[in-house]
Amino acid sequence: MNSTRSVIERLDALYEFDREPVAGTKLQGSGNFIGIYSGEHIAGTEYVIGPLFVAHGVTAADFFLGLLVGNLLAVLSWAFVTSPISVRTRLTLYWQLRGVAGPYLTVGYCIVNALMFCFLAGSMISVSATAVGLPFEMTMPGLNDMLPNSVGWVVVVLFVGSVVTALAILGFEKISQFSKLASPWMILVFIAGGLAVLPGLGIGSFADFWRVANEKIWTGVPFPGQTKFTFWHVMFFAWFCNLAMHIGMSDMSLLRYARKWYYGFSSAFGMFLGHFIAWTASSILCAAAAGNVAPGPIAYLGAGLAGAVSVVVAGWTTANPTLYRAGLALQVATPDWKRWKVTLGAGIVTTVAAVFPALMMKLLDFVALYGLILMPMGAIIFADFWLLPKLGMKSAFAELAALRLSWPALIAWALTLTVCFALPYEIFFKALPGWFIAVGLFVALSYAQQRRQRVVVGRGNL
């Protein structure tokens, strides 16, 4: 009993500067951010994304050009949109949002946000489970499996989810150390796995690569039942697969620890060392495995035991910060709970979601949807921080006027999503027009709100 209390007290002591601006002594150097971004974007899910591009019939030229442009745009988004606001406010997204949107809307947003994070972390746990299940000859989920296909799958997912949750409870420092330790090794495993299967595809030298890439890997022909992807699909997916984190501003929770705004460029390690190389390697592995998309088996095919372990480790390093963010988000909704208790709750939801392989097999669509839903609030924060003062309006008006809910923020969020869902485009292309719609609506409605408020205040004074 005493030892239980002691553990709880120690966990309670892990409380970090979640609700206040980060203190100067807690700011961290660029190495930590390079470690986190590298670890977070060299993830188990990269073993799924490459094969899904292959399944959607991307050509080799569209694949490489799309990744180059999309990843560059993602890095610029982190550096010029997320980071400058993060280092000026030193607040998490959630506490910043509270001032802009009011506590009621923030609570609603946090619950939606945390659920999205849980599902995202769940897909990473599913990916890890495909590797953990290898020695038990577990039946792997297929491209069209939506429900769990065996008891073994359920048991393995529950085990992996428990470990990930325990690590997330330990907090930011532990996550940073773990990512920093694993990321240099993981990226080499991706590269080595991809290289080792090239002879099996008919590549004996680097000169053969482009020919075989077009003929056997990115053939331009979609798998039966899959839609055709182009350069634009690859570019927008590469840019927006972390939409919630950069333009959606949720990485304020991490970058508020940055000494300088330009640490946002450290995301390049995640985009180019991570996504670019990992998606290329996993595409090659999928082609070598004759179209198999299960991460554990294809990693084993390329790198043996080290490949299988990398899938587990890569899943953990990504799921941990994702769960950590979910814990932060839910803490706002439950202000009297300690973060470790909230993270435990989020971990349970995540693990249950991970039992369903649909989360992993429909990853491209889910990632695009998740970014789209959260993006408008990032646009609102951007407009509130930069545009409203330049237009003669007050930032964080909900806080200034002691409003419980900012109706401009609520209407801008809801109307943007309504318009986006109605747009006759594929989900990958809805977010860009959506950002401009959200900014425009919020500025216009804020103008109306603040002018009305001034009139009311003026009459009161008379």
Partner 1 sequence: MRLILRSVSVIGLALTLIPSVLVLLNAISWNLHADLMTAGMLVWFATAPGWIRSSRR
- The helix-helix angle for 407-422 and 431-461 (nearest 10°) equals 160
Shortest distance (Å) from residue 75 CB to partner 1: 25
In whole angstroms, what is the distance from residue 279 CA to residue 298 CA? 13
CB nearer partner 1, residue 77 or residue 176: 176
Residue 358, C-beta contacts closer than 8 angstroms, at least 6 positions apart:
145, 146, 147
Residue 281 beta carbon to partner 1: minimum distance, rounded to whole angstroms: 10
Q: Determine the length of the chain.
A: 462
Least Å distance between CB 12 and partner 1?
24
Q: How far is the CB of 206 from partner 1 (least distance, A)?
A: 8
Q: Is the dihedral of CA 347, 353, 359, 365 positive or negative?
A: negative
Q: Report the distance separating Cα 312 and Cα 309, nearest Å.
A: 5
CA 259 to chain centre: 23
Whose Cβ is closer to partner 1: residue 127's or residue 301's? 301
Which tokens go with 81?
């949109």
Nearer to partner 1, 26 or 404 (CB): 26
Write down the least CB distance from residue 40 to partner 1, Å. 17
> By C-beta, is 273 or 309 nearer to partner 1?
309
Contact 283, 51 (CB under 8 A): yes
Would you say 269 or 370 has its CB closer to partner 1?
269
DSSP 231-266: HHHHHHHHHHTTTTTTTT-TTHHHHTTBSSGGGGGG
CB atoms within 10 A of CB 350: 30
Instruction: Give alpha helix (H) positions in 145-263.
Output: 151-169, 172-197, 209-212, 231-240, 252-255
The residue (of 304 and 440) whose beta carbon lies closer to partner 1 is 304
Closest distance of CB 381 from partner 1, Å: 32
Sequence-ordered list of residues with C-beta below 8 angstroms from that of 207, at least 6 positions apart, any chain: none
Query: Among 318, 313, 242, 278, which residue's Cα sits nearest to residue 51?
Result: 278
Q: How many CB atoms lie within 10 A of CB 418?
A: 10
Query: Which residue lies nearer to partner 1 by CB, 185 or 425?
Result: 185
Of 171 and 307, nearer to partner 1 (C-beta) is: 307
Nearer to partner 1, 143 or 303 (CB): 303
Summarize as ranges the residues that interact with partner 1 (CB under 8 A): 177, 180-181, 184-185, 188-189, 191-196, 198-199, 203-204, 303-307, 309
For residue 186, the minimal CB distance to partner 1 (Å) is 10
Q: How far is the CB of 285 from partner 1 (least distance, A)?
A: 12
Interhelix angle 60-77/231-240, nearest 10 degrees: 30
Q: Please report how close the Cβ of residue 288 comes to partner 1 at its closest, in angstroms.
A: 11
DSSP 136: G
